Amino acid sequence: MAKKTIHTLEEIYPESAVAAQRERYEKSAEEFRSIFGDSDQLRYFSAPGRTEVGGNHTDHNHGKVLAASVNLDVIAVVEPTDDNIITIKSEGFPEDSVDISDLSVHEDEKNSSAALIRGVAAGFKNNGLTIGGFKAVCSCSFAAFEVLIGNILSGIYNAGGISAVKIAQIAQYAENEYFGKPSGLMDQMASSVGGFVAIDFKNTQAPIIENI
């Protein structure tokens, strides 16, 4: 299931919400410029929040779940850079700057957003995918933050060709190995795949996903 490239706000949001969402994106772009300076290379990314419909925690035991994305999303305004530094300013949080030329686990980063950034980059690299630096301003939540980073690396450095399933698996890897939380795969999968889905985790490397 490949990621679909979206070109307009009308493709993401209902007609009644487009004006408010345009204002939201413009406000984030203004914040980006106030922090990092003007740029003519800004890119925009989104990842939805998620809800657990049924089967909570059965993903830990290779079970079956019902999950859905919701119409509250996290967004990022992004500028690619030609170095190996990922810098993210999340709304309401201090700025994170991570040098992804070092992809080892940093014990002092456990339970931090920096760990998730480094972990997602490591997951991409471990899967033979391309990574690189960028600057971003974003609004954030937990599982969606990891998926958002994956969407950015996919969109900028891999032509948007990384599947939703692979992004979710990499997000879980980052959370397990770098952040230090032994989470299952349901939250990341619900955010990455989107929609209302049934997921069978009998084989977590190849989960069976059915749109409801």
Q: Which residues contact 56 (CB under 8 A, 6 or more apart)?
A: 65, 186
Cα distances (Å, whole numbers) of residue 56 to 50, 61, 72, 157 = 12, 11, 20, 34
Question: Is 187 annotated in the active site?
Answer: yes
**Catalytically annotated residue among 59, 73, 96, 187:** 187
Residues serving a catalytic function are 187
